[in-house]
Structure 1
Amino acid sequence: MNKVGVYLILGAVLATGQTITSSIVGAVVDSGDLPVVGAKLVLTQAATGIERRAETDALGNFVLSNLEPGRYTLTVEVPGFKRLERTDLILSPAERLSVGKLVLEVGNLVETVTVTAQGALVQTASSERSGLIASDQIQNLLTRSRNIMSLLSLLPGVVDINDGAVDSLTRTFSIFVQGNRRTANSISMDGMLLNPWGLGWAYDVAISQDSVAEVKVLLGNYQAEYGRRSGANIVLIGKSGTQQFHGLFSYFKRHEQFNANDFFRNRNSQPKARYRYNTWTYNIGGPVYIPGKFNKDKDKLFFFWNQEFWPQESVLTGRVTVPTELERAGNFSQSLDLNNALIPVRDPFANKQPFPGNVIPSSRINSDGQALMKVFDPPNFLDRNISKGNYNYVFDTPVSKPHRMTTLRLDSNISSSNRVSFSYYDYYNKQTGKMGLDTGGSNWPQFEKGYFFRGQSFVARHTWIISPTLISEAS
Structure 2
Amino acid sequence: MRTHAGTVCFLVALFATLAPAQNFGRISGTLTDSSGAVMPGVKVRVINEGTAVERVAPTNETGSYVATNLPVGTYTVKADPVGFQAEARTGLTLVADGRLTVDITLRPGNATQSVDVVAASGEALNTVSGEIARQINTQQVENLALNGRNYLQLATLIPGSALLDEDQMATTTSLSTSTQAVNGNRGISNNLMVDGSYNLDSGSNSSQLNNVGVDFIREVAIKTSNFSAEYGRNSGAAINVITRSGGNQFHGGALEFLRNDTLDARNYFSPSKGKLRFNDFGWNLGGPIKRNKLFFFAGQEWKRIRQDEAPLQATLPTRAQRLGDFSAITGNLFFPGTTTPIPNRSLSGMITPDGKALANVFNRMESLAASYTDIAKGNNTVYQFPNPFNWREEILRIDYIINEKHSLYGRYLHDDYNLIDPHPLGGLPTVPINRVRPTPSYQLTETWSILPNLINEARGSATWSAQRRQLSSDTWKRETYGFQYPQIFGTGPLSNGIPAVSIDGITSFPAPTFVKLSPNTEISFNDNLSWVKGSHTLKVGVLVARNRKNQNGSAINTGSIAFSTSGNTLTTGNAFADALLGNYRTYSEANNDPVGYFRYTQADSYVQDNWRINKHLSLELGLRFQSGTPTYSTVNNMTNFVPSLYNPAQAVTVNLAGVIVAGSGNPFNGLLRAGSGVPSDETGRVPSAGSADVAAVPAGAPKGLYSGQTVVAPRFGFAWAPFDDSKTSIRGGFGMFYDRPDGNITFPTLNSPPFIKTVQFQNGNLSNPSGGAAAALAPFATITAIDPNLHLPYTENFSLSVQRELPRGFLVETAYVGNLGRHLLRAPDINQPTFDALVANAALPAAQRASTNTLRPYKGYSSIIDRLSDSTSNYHALQVYTTKRTGDLTLTASYTFSKVLTDASGEGDNPEDPANRHYSYGPASFDRRHILVGTYSYQIPFARHWKNPAKYALAGWQFSGINRFQTGPYYSVSGNTSIGGRRADYVGGPILLPQGQRTVTTYLNPAAFAAAPNGRRGNTGVGIVQGPGLMLWDISLRKEFAATERFRIRLQGDVFNLMNRANFRGLNTNATDLAFGSITAAGPARNVQLGLKLQF
Contact 2:161 2:183 in 1 (8 A): yes
Q: SS at 1:74's partner residue?
A: strand
Q: Counterparts in 2 of 1:213-232, with a 5 A limit?
A: 213-232=218-237
Q: 1:130 to 1:397 in 2, by over 3 A?
A: closer
User: 1:203: how far off?
Assistant: 1.5
Which of 30, 33, 52 is the matching residue for 2:33?
30
Which of 421, 437, 453 is the matching residue for 2:409?
421
Which of 91, 95, 100 is the matching residue for 1:92?
95
Q: 1:257 to 1:6 in 2, by over 3 A?
A: farther
Between 461-470 and 276-285, report the one with greater CA deviation: 276-285
Letter in 1 for 2:411: S
Contact 1:419 1:462 in 2 (8 A): yes
Contact 2:372 2:381 in 1 (8 A): no
Structure 2: distance between partners of 1:127 and 1:220: 9
Q: Does 1:254 align with 2:259?
A: yes
Q: SS at 1:109's partner residue?
A: coil
Structure 2: distance between partners of 1:121 and 1:380: 60
Between 103-112 and 224-233, report the one with greater CA deviation: 224-233
User: 1:393: how far off?
Assistant: 6.4
Aligned length: 443
Q: SS at 2:414's partner residue?
A: strand
Structure 2: distance between partners of 1:359 and 1:63: 84
Structure 2: distance between partners of 1:7 and 1:175: 39
Between 209-218 and 113-122, report the one with greater CA deviation: 113-122
Q: 1:350 to 1:196 in 2, by over 3 A?
A: closer
Letter in 1 for 2:385: T
Contact 2:148 2:169 in 1 (8 A): yes
Q: Does 1:332 align with 2:324?
A: yes
| Residue 432 (structure 1) aligns with | 420
Structure 1: distance between partners of 2:143 and 2:444: 30
Contact 2:41 2:63 in 1 (8 A): yes
User: 1:346: how far off?
Assistant: 4.5
Which of 454, 465, 470 is the matching residue for 1:470?
454
Contact 1:218 1:232 in 2 (8 A): yes
Structure 1: distance between partners of 2:368 and 2:213: 43
Structure 2: distance between partners of 1:248 and 1:96: 31
| Residue 24 (structure 2) aligns with | 21
Which of 169, 175, 179 is the matching residue for 1:171?
175
Structure 1: distance between partners of 2:207 and 2:237: 15
Q: SS at 1:312's partner residue?
A: strand
Q: Does 1:311 align with 2:304?
A: yes
Structure 2: where are the runs of 5+ without partners? 460-1096
Structure 1: where are the runs of 5+ without partners? 9-14, 289-294
Q: SS at 2:376's partner residue?
A: coil
| Residue 250 (structure 2) aligns with | 245
Q: SS at 1:404's partner residue?
A: strand
| Residue 859 (structure 2) aligns with | none
Q: SS at 1:153's partner residue?
A: helix
| Residue 400 (structure 2) aligns with | 412
| Residue 106 (structure 2) aligns with | 104
Structure 2: distance between partners of 1:38 and 1:359: 97
Q: 1:184 to 1:416 in 2, by over 3 A?
A: same
Structure 2: distance between partners of 1:308 and 1:5: 42
Contact 2:83 2:111 in 1 (8 A): yes
Structure 1: distance between partners of 2:218 and 2:360: 55
| Residue 148 (structure 1) aligns with | 151
| Residue 116 (structure 2) aligns with | 114
Q: SS at 1:397's partner residue?
A: coil
Structure 2: distance between partners of 1:201 and 1:396: 25
Q: 1:208 to 1:470 in 2, by over 3 A?
A: same
User: 1:451: how far off?
Assistant: 1.6
Q: 1:265 to 1:23 in 2, by over 3 A?
A: closer
| Residue 238 (structure 2) aligns with | 233
Structure 2: distance between partners of 1:134 and 1:150: 14
Q: Does 1:458 align with 2:451?
A: no
| Identity fraction in percent | 28
Structure 2: distance between partners of 1:380 and 1:55: 76
Q: For 1:429-473, what per-residue CA distance to the aligned partner results, in whole angstroms no more than 9, with x for missing partners?
A: 12225x14xx425413x3552222233322211000011122221
Q: Does 1:399 align with 2:356?
A: no
Task: Identify the structure with bigger relative contact order (alpha carbons < 8 Å, sequence gap 6+).
Answer: 1
Q: For 1:374-425, what per-residue CA distance to the aligned partner results, in whole angstroms no more than 9, with x for missing partners?
A: 454285699x996543477665432222122222211111112111011222
| Residue 11 (structure 1) aligns with | none
Letter in 2 for 1:205: N
Structure 1: distance between partners of 2:318 and 2:181: 47
Contact 1:251 1:278 in 2 (8 A): yes
Q: SS at 1:57's partner residue?
A: coil
Contact 1:150 1:160 in 2 (8 A): no
Contact 2:86 2:115 in 1 (8 A): yes
Letter in 2 for 1:213: R
Contact 1:87 1:115 in 2 (8 A): yes
User: 1:76: how far off?
Assistant: 1.1
CA RMSD of aligned residues (A): 3.5
Q: 1:158 to 1:371 in 2, by over 3 A?
A: closer
Q: 1:368 to 1:7 in 2, by over 3 A?
A: farther
Between 341-350 and 148-157, report the one with greater CA deviation: 341-350
User: 1:345: how far off?
Assistant: 5.6
Letter in 1 for 2:324: F
Q: 1:449 to 1:228 in 2, by over 3 A?
A: closer
User: 1:326: how far off?
Assistant: 7.1
User: 1:474: how far off?
Assistant: 0.7
Q: SS at 2:92's partner residue?
A: strand
Letter in 1 for 2:230: E
Which of 211, 219, 222 is the matching residue for 1:206?
211
Between 133-142 and 305-314, report the one with greater CA deviation: 305-314
Q: 1:128 to 1:341 in 2, by over 3 A?
A: closer
Between 33-42 and 143-152, report the one with greater CA deviation: 33-42
Q: Does 1:162 align with 2:165?
A: yes
Q: SS at 1:25's partner residue?
A: strand
Q: SS at 2:387's partner residue?
A: strand
Letter in 2 for 1:455: T
Letter in 2 for 1:126: S
User: 1:232: how far off?
Assistant: 2.5
| Residue 796 (structure 2) aligns with | none
Q: 1:186 to 1:55 in 2, by over 3 A?
A: same
Q: 1:165 to 1:381 in 2, by over 3 A?
A: closer
Between 75-84 and 179-188, report the one with greater CA deviation: 179-188
Contact 2:246 2:287 in 1 (8 A): yes
Structure 1: distance between partners of 2:368 and 2:199: 47
